[in-house]
A and B are shown apart, each in its own frame.
Chain A
Amino acid sequence: MSALLEVKHLNVDLNLPAGTLHAVRDVSFSVEKGKTLSLVGESGCGKSMIALAIMGLLPPSGICSAEKIAFEGLDLQKMSEKKMSTFRGARMAMIFQEPMTSLDPCYTIGNQLVEALTEHKKVSAREARDRAVFLLEKVGITGSASRLKQYPHQLSGGLRQRIMIAMGLMCGPSLIIADEPTTALDVTIQAQIMGLLASIQQEFNMGMILITHDLGVVSRVADDVVIMYCGQVVETGNIKEIFNNPIHPYTRGLMECIPVPGKTKPGEKLGSIPGIVPTPIGDLWGCSFRSRCSLATQECAARGLELIKISDKRSFRCINPPVTIADA
């Protein structure tokens, strides 16, 4: 089966006064129908840039180059801006972190939902409204007829995020890109929204790219994970492999940072990654993580460190892995 979205050797450069910022460096991954791929990393690692590059929404200073960005068999790079804009929203939906800023405060929920559909497809207002009601029920909002008449500010954060999801689904997309969809929400709502996204994705057999820094969310929802650091993929693989046998020192460091009830002892020191993230500006070589890695050696500064593939999906970028690969 061919993948829903295939990205091969994607690079995104941003031209800044200080030099060229290599926001995304040689990133490849693919998303299949009905599967969730998660891009994980700390702020500034380039994970959001990947989403914007796929959607064709990079800022003007951004330059995107890739060997291949294929969506449903079509090459997105060769597509005209006009065609691309019909794709955005219709075939691919994006859900952002802060639902308040993505909803227009001047229009009712109903207006915005209906417009999301009529903008892309020739349907009557009646049909669009029916679909809006149907989807609101799907995202767990009852009394949808009265909800349609409400304005965004009348709703709580959790409800707004549900509306955003419904809006993303209006045209029946085949790919959802969710950029930190639950970061602004309470824990109880977070679990609900993630559950909702996961069940809807299964029901409509869509592919999902989940961008987040929260390893807890990732472990519960994703099928495959791409761990990013400084614009590069440092480790990728199946969710269970990554969480049970992390190879890259960065992945391992991240996992030791989180307090896990039952595993970490209360009051004890958590693992932490010393130092700060370098900004990938200028000519780069070697492992980006070597300035913070306790296992770094001279060889880590060598040029041309490639991803080492150990199985179909599993690969990592480290020449001195702290575990023997046979264990992994």
Chain B
Amino acid sequence: MPPVETQQQFDSGLGLEVVFPTPGQIMRRRMLTHKGFIIGGLMVLAVFIVAIFAPYIAQHDPYHQDLSNRMITPVWSETGSWEHPLGTDAMGRDYLSRLAYGARISLFIGFSCMAIAAVIGISLGLIAGYFGGMADMIVSFIITVRLALPAVLVAIAVVALMGGSIQVVVMVLGCLIWDRFAVILRATTQQIRAMDYVQAAKAAGCSIPWLMIREIMPNLLNSIVIVATLEIGRAILLEAALSFLGMGVQPPTPSWGLMISEGKDMMLFDPYLVTIPGVALFFLVLGMNLFGDGLRDVTSPEGRS
């Protein structure tokens, strides 16, 4: 890696004494120059701002039905008005308000599914990678079983049995999308476990939880964060798919997937009903993936300059 910071030596003409930056400095410097990371981060940040300030953005109650103002088209069409910038739906609810509150649902589902998946996947991956042998065989079998299950079908079956609600959707999706965490963490743990510094820590008398959490985990953090961003995107899309099928979040909650589902009957006449939440979903998931991709480059220890 090329030196980035240098310091003139006492007695010039000898060249420089190279001062290498700390891992943190390298990361900060790369963050500021990585386009994908910045663009993706800004996209996700935008959705966050919308979600946090939803009450201020929304001029109407997202649940309030006003049947006299049904199917008002967005402001850029001929019949649109600034009263409802994104129009209203078939129930006369303000689309912008529903979209803003929907961001909360999507982000909440994305992050909480990821958190559940991370806990399951990281534990399984660490155990399999660190202990190897029998533990590895059992975990690998569990992973294989999980990969053989079609996520959407299982989710539909469970929701059909337990009824659709945000809590159920989060639990079901969280318990279904941990596979990537487990697979990637298992492989990286295997690599890191063999490093001499882990052996040295073991020889210093560190306990197994200490080794896993304090010595191995910091070196897994970048893989974890990258998988986490991808899983958030995946959870958001799965939620939308479930809601679209009527098996996820139940009406009248303003979920983006549900909005698409409710708009699909009128899709041919009023395409904005489907396009607007669709674009929002695309925007958020693209941002998440760009951000995750950028994070991988930014945090990779050896750097790819």
Contacts and interface: CB of A to CB of B under 8 A. Distances in A.
Direct A–B contact in the complex, CB atoms closer than 8 angstroms: yes
Interface of A: 16-19, 22, 230, 276, 278-286, 288, 290-291, 301, 303
Contact of A284 (B3, B14, B18): B14
Main secondary structure of the interface of B (DSSP, over half): loop
A291 B14 contact: yes
A285 B13 CA distance: 5
Contact of A282 (B2, B4, B11, B15): B15
Given A282-B12, A291-B9, 10 more contacts: A17-B2, A17-B3, A18-B2, A19-B6, A278-B14, A281-B15, A281-B18, A282-B16, A284-B13, A284-B15
A280 B17 CA distance: 9
Nearest to B305: A17
B280 to A, nearest CB: 40
Contact of B16 (A278, A288, A290): A278
**Most chain B CB inside 10 Å of its own CB: which residue of A18, A290, A303:** A18
Contacts of A290: 14
B18 to A, nearest CB: 5
Nearest to A288: B14
A279 B5 CA distance: 13
B15 A280 contact: yes
A296 B107 CA distance: 67
A290 B11 CA distance: 10
A22 B15 CA distance: 9
Contacts of B15: 22, 230, 278-282, 284, 288
A104 to B, nearest CB: 22
Contact of B17 (A22, A278, A285): A278
A305 B17 CA distance: 22
B13 A283 contact: yes
Contact of B2 (A16, A280, A288): A16
A255 B207 CA distance: 45
A291 B6 contact: no
Contacts of B5: 18
The 5 closest A-B pairs by CB, nearest first: A285-B13, A16-B2, A278-B15, A280-B15, A279-B18
Nearest to B17: A278
21 contacts: A16-B3, A17-B3, A18-B4, A18-B16, A278-B14, A279-B3, A279-B16, A279-B17, A279-B18, A280-B15, A281-B3, A281-B6, A281-B15, A282-B16, A283-B12, A285-B13, A288-B14, A290-B14, A291-B9, A301-B11, A301-B13
A281 B14 CA distance: 8
A16 B4 CA distance: 9
Interface string B126-148: 00000000000000000000000
Nearest to A281: B16
Contacts of A291: 9, 11, 14
A18 B20 CA distance: 11
Contacts of A278: 9, 14-17
**Most chain B CB inside 10 Å of its own CB: which residue of A278, A288, A301, A303:** A278
A280 B15 CA distance: 5
**Most chain A CB inside 10 Å of its own CB: which residue of B5, B9, B13, B18:** B13
Contacts of B6: 18-19, 279, 281
A286 B9 CA distance: 14
A284 B14 CA distance: 6
A18 B14 contact: no
B4 A17 contact: yes
Contacts of B16: 18-19, 278-279, 281-282
Nearest to B10: A291
Contacts of A280: 15
A276 B20 CA distance: 15
Given A279-B3, A281-B6, A18 B18 contact: yes
A174 B14 CA distance: 38
B13 A18 contact: no
A230 B18 CA distance: 14
Nearest to A286: B13
A17 B16 CA distance: 13
Contacts of B4: 17-18
A280 B5 CA distance: 14
Contacts of A18: 2-6, 16, 18
A303 B13 CA distance: 9
A317 B195 CA distance: 43
Interface string B1-36: 011111001011111111000000000000000000
Nearest to A276: B17
B5 to A, nearest CB: 8
A16 B3 CA distance: 8
Nearest to A292: B14
A121 to B, nearest CB: 38
